[in-house]
Amino acid sequence: MSDFEHSVYLDAEKCKGCINCIKRCPTAAIRVRGGKAHIKKEFCIDCGECVRVCPHHAKKTKYDSLDSLNDFKYKVALPAPSFYAQFNNVTDTSIVLKALIRLGFDDVFEVAAAAEMVSELTRKYIADHPEGKPYISTACPSVVRLIRVRFPSLIERLLPIITPADLAATLAVKEALKKTGLERKDIGIFFISPCPAKITAVSSPLGIEKSEIDRVLAIKKVYTKMLPLMKMEDAGDTELKRAGRIGISWGKSGGEVSGLLTDSYIAADGIENVIKVLEDLEDGKISNMDFVELNSCIGGCVGGVLQVENPYVAKTKLTKLRKYMPVAGSHLDGNIPENVYWSKEVEFMPVFRLGATPLESMEMMQKIDAIAENLPGLDCGSCGAPTCHALAEDIVRGVANERDCIHLLKKYLHKISSDLNLL
């Protein structure tokens, strides 16, 4: 668990030790200690909420630079479906795809095209395995990570199909090897990502051993380089375009389910809403559903923290762009690509567990409840923990003490001062 590589990290110099991130983190993974935020690795699901909310830009995302294009002889760009929606006046996706070639790529493989194949595979999977319904989408890595730490009973509902980005990479590698005759190491597969979660999914994948993606670029970084290149004259070639309406729709909430041709679905977006749906699913409150699409970001991938455009504007742009496209541009045609299903089980990580055994946990919980009783219950965050209860937990775990609470400290100081006056 400790060797797990996260893409979200802290720039300690910029961190002012404020409480914005600790209050927003959906897994209570952050504490401010010694005036700086610390992310508890095993709790972090790379959702990027802390990156979004930090007013000092101290929470950052690790991604590769465009210079890494020089690491390979043949480079393929994999733009996320939400990428097209970042730009103005894009009436045809090929404008964006051609600009990627001008940027230095040798080819592009739209993630949206692979997404259409994943939609087809999902329809088939649900039809072949109806007993496992409702299936939960596995396209948003933060959701899969959240389920892994907090909703173990729902692990069996995860759709065991690789993500559109991973499928695009697999297919792009195959194509490039055939086209160029180069060795695998000379081919660079570059995913252009909307969020940190999808970056972590490349370095530490779940459900598969290894991703075929070699480098991950951030949409916001590629964006500025793209603008002048998109204004250039049309170079003719339109072969690059492979995706249709279904694939493009994956960029926003409700897009994935639109490709499933069923009305028995839920599509929830925003991490708090996702948690609510997962709780209800676990409690058996949601029934008669085929599929549950969950996106950690509000609006879906258009709401990713590495995006440029306002997510609501981006959603409209995707809808407009879809208008004159075919329903789907890519089809499986009866061929199921290799390695398209998960090859590795997702294991429950009981990070919220207090002790090693239920008995030990029970003893700890009683101490925690007793300490929490004594705390003011304001959840002000000044101690560096997101809630009074979290501070009580930290005290029992031995990583904080009662005087970290400024309200208790104040009382304590009052007492000392009145004791001194009595002398």
Partner 1 sequence: MSMTMKLHYDVSGDDFTRAGEASGKVKAKLRQLGIDPTAVRRVAIALYEGEINLVIHAGGGEIDVEISPEEITMVLTDQGPGIADVEKAMTEGFSTASENIRSLGFGAGMGLPNMKKYTDQMKIDTKLGEGTTIYMTVKL
- Interacting residues with partner 1 (CB under 8 A): 150, 152-153, 279, 282-285, 348, 350, 352-359, 361-363, 365-366
Neighbours of 80 (CB within 10 A): 29
We find the least distance from the C-beta atom of residue 204 to partner 1, in angstroms, to be: 23
C-beta separation of 36 from 12 below 8 A: yes
Backbone φ, ψ for residue 396 (5° rounding): -65, -35
Nearer residue to partner 1 within complex by CB, 65 or 366: 366
Neighbours of 54 (CB within 10 A): 21
According to the 3-state scheme, what is the secondary structure of 249-264?
HCCCCCHHHHCCCCCC
We find the least distance from the C-beta atom of residue 354 to partner 1, in angstroms, to be: 5
We find the least distance from the C-beta atom of residue 362 to partner 1, in angstroms, to be: 5
Residue labelled with tokens 């939960």: 136
We find the least distance from the C-beta atom of residue 371 to partner 1, in angstroms, to be: 14
Give me the torsion for CA of 322, 326, 328, 330, rounded to 10°: -110
Nearer residue to partner 1 within complex by CB, 178 or 285: 285
We find the least distance from the C-beta atom of residue 20 to partner 1, in angstroms, to be: 24
Nearer residue to partner 1 within complex by CB, 152 or 337: 152
Nearer residue to partner 1 within complex by CB, 154 or 189: 154
We find the least distance from the C-beta atom of residue 26 to partner 1, in angstroms, to be: 14
Nearer residue to partner 1 within complex by CB, 300 or 386: 386
Nearer residue to partner 1 within complex by CB, 110 or 393: 393
C-beta separation of 63 from 217 below 8 A: yes
Omega prior to 386 cis, within 30 of 0: no
We find the least distance from the C-beta atom of residue 350 to partner 1, in angstroms, to be: 6
**First-to-last CA distance in the chain?**
55
Going from the C-alpha of 176 to that of each of 180, 209, 300, 423, the distances in angstroms are 6, 22, 30, 85
Nearest-angstrom CA–CA distance, 21 and 342: 33
We find the least distance from the C-beta atom of residue 49 to partner 1, in angstroms, to be: 20
We find the least distance from the C-beta atom of residue 400 to partner 1, in angstroms, to be: 17
Nearer residue to partner 1 within complex by CB, 147 or 314: 147
Nearer residue to partner 1 within complex by CB, 237 or 369: 369
Nearer residue to partner 1 within complex by CB, 11 or 369: 369
